[in-house]
Structure 1
């Protein structure tokens, strides 16, 4: 099993250009955020009946998926899992409030599409294919790489 640093080293190979990096610092969190919104948009009657919490922020499919996402990060780094958990919670809260004013699924699809266009534009600038085309797990490494690069003391 690769360490988080090994994942980062391999991911960094196709993320050297400063413009591509800047695009990723915006688009990767936006994609993560939009996926949380899309998952929150899935009807959750089953979860409501199962849990009986009446808490829409935590009683939705996004929380179920995020538990597994956090387990992925936890096996790589406790510190990174905590950072992603904080970001995930912020995504849940913000998506909940956005959903009070606009259809969350439509807003999330818009963000998702625009962010992916940005990602592919960044890789066009870089001249290298996105890492996830080599290994799908890089879709999970991207958010951690952004957190590491934006908030680490280097």
Structure 2
């Protein structure tokens, strides 16, 4: 895709890809971006909800729905892929929450968040370019879709 592509998602990806040319940095992102995404979901899952008004994980579900709307509007195939990703991450997070409780889930989410972000910054140090989100926070949403689009291309799927 090039920067003059018609769809906004293609322009986002072209710009994002410009900051992620190094293969090592790309590999780090393929590992760390999903880890960060999951850790944010898990952190939101741990935010207390009013008793009886919402179920545990309600804040995470609201955030996932909002992000899903962004992805779906940008590209339906990516939107469906991100929906599947959110469902799987939600089920996994719920399982961890039920199995280990909110405190252990919180500690695990914080640890994954910190380690994955360290990985991201190491990747950008190798790349020699600053992270895209430092120029526009929207790139925090673009990263997961970019990783999914890499998978789609590998599978020969259109997005």
TM score, norm. by length of structure 2:
0.86
SS of residue matched to 1:63: helix
Across the aligned residues of Structure 1 and Structure 2, the Cα RMSD in angstroms comes to 1.8
Count of aligned positions: 147
- In structure 2, the partner of 1:125 is 126
> Per-residue deviation at 1:45?
2.2
SS of residue matched to 1:75: helix
CA distance in 2, matches of 1:49, 1:16: 47
Residue 45, structure 1, aligned to residue 50, structure 2: yes
Note the alpha carbon deviations across 1:9-54, whole angstroms, 9 max, x for none.
00000101000000000000000000000011011226x426xxx6
CA distance in 2, matches of 1:132, 1:2: 20
CA distance in 1, matches of 2:130, 2:96: 33
CA distance in 2, matches of 1:27, 1:86: 18
SS of residue matched to 2:137: coil
Q: Which runs of 5+ in 1 are unaligned?
A: none
* 4+ residue runs over 3 A deviation: none
Residue 90, structure 1, aligned to residue 88, structure 2: yes
CA distance in 2, matches of 1:98, 1:5: 36
Q: Which runs of 5+ in 2 are unaligned?
A: 1-5
CA distance in 1, matches of 2:128, 2:53: 50
- In structure 1, the partner of 2:16 is 11
- In structure 1, the partner of 2:100 is 101
